[in-house]
Amino acid sequence: MDGPAGVGKSTVGHLVGKALGYHFINTGEMYRALTWKALEASVDLNDEKKVLALAKRLRWEFRLTEEGTTLRTYIDGQGVSAQIRDERVSRSSSLVAANPGVRQLLCRLQRRLGNDGGIVMEGRDIATNVFPDANFKIYLDASIEERARRRYRQLKAAGQAANRRKIREAILTRDLNDIKRKINPLSQAPDALVIDSTQLTLRQVSRKILRHIKQHAR
Ligand code: DC
Q: pLDDT value at position 206?
A: 98
Q: pLDDT value at position 17?
A: 97
d(CA 28, CA 91): 13
Give one DSSP letter per residue of the chain, joined into a string. -B--TTSSHHHHHHHHHHHHTPEEEETHHHHHHHHHHHHHTT--TT-HHHHHHHHHHS-EEEEE-TTSSEEEEEETTEE-TTGGGSHHHHHHHHHHHT-HHHHHHHHHHHHHHHTT--EEEEBSSIIIII-TT-S--EEEE--HHHHHHHHHHHHHHTT----HHHHHHHHHHHHHHHHH-SSS-S---TTPEEEE-TTS-HHHHHHHHHHHHHHH--
Tell me which of 3.40.50.300, 3.30.110.30, 3.60.20.10, 3.30.365.10 is the CATH number of domain 9-216. 3.40.50.300
Q: Would you say the CB of residue 174 lies under 6 angstroms from ligand 1?
A: yes
Atom of ligand 1 nearest to the CA of 125: 18
Entry pTM:
0.96
- Residue with CA closest to ligand 1 atom 1: 28
Rounded distance from Cα 29 to ligand 1 centre (Å): 7
Rounded distance from Cα 218 to ligand 1 centre (Å): 31
Backbone torsion region of residue 184, taken as left when φ is above 0, otherwise alpha when ψ lies between -120 and 50, otherwise beta: left
Rounded distance from Cα 130 to ligand 1 centre (Å): 13
**Sign (positive/negative) of CA torsion 184, 188, 190, 195?**
positive
Atom of ligand 1 nearest to the CA of 2: 18
Atom of ligand 1 nearest to the CA of 6: 3
Q: pLDDT value at position 161?
A: 87
Atom of ligand 1 nearest to the CA of 106: 18
At residue 55, φ and ψ (nearest 5 deg) are -60, -40
Residue-level pLDDT, tens digit, the chain, 218 residues: 999 999 999 999 999 999 999 999 999 999 999 999 999 999 999 999 999 999 999 999 999 999 999 999 999 999 999 899 888 999 999 999 999 999 999 999 999 999 999 999 999 999 999 999 999 999 999 999 999 999 999 889 988 888 999 999 999 999 999 999 999 999 999 999 999 999 999 999 999 999 999 999 87
Rounded distance from Cα 30 to ligand 1 centre (Å): 8
Name the residue ranges covered by the structural domains of the chain: 9-216
Q: Would you say the CB of residue 2 lies under 6 angstroms from ligand 1?
A: no
Q: pLDDT value at position 60?
A: 98
Q: Which residues contact 7 (CB under 8 A, 6 or more apart)?
A: 140, 141, 142, 147, 197
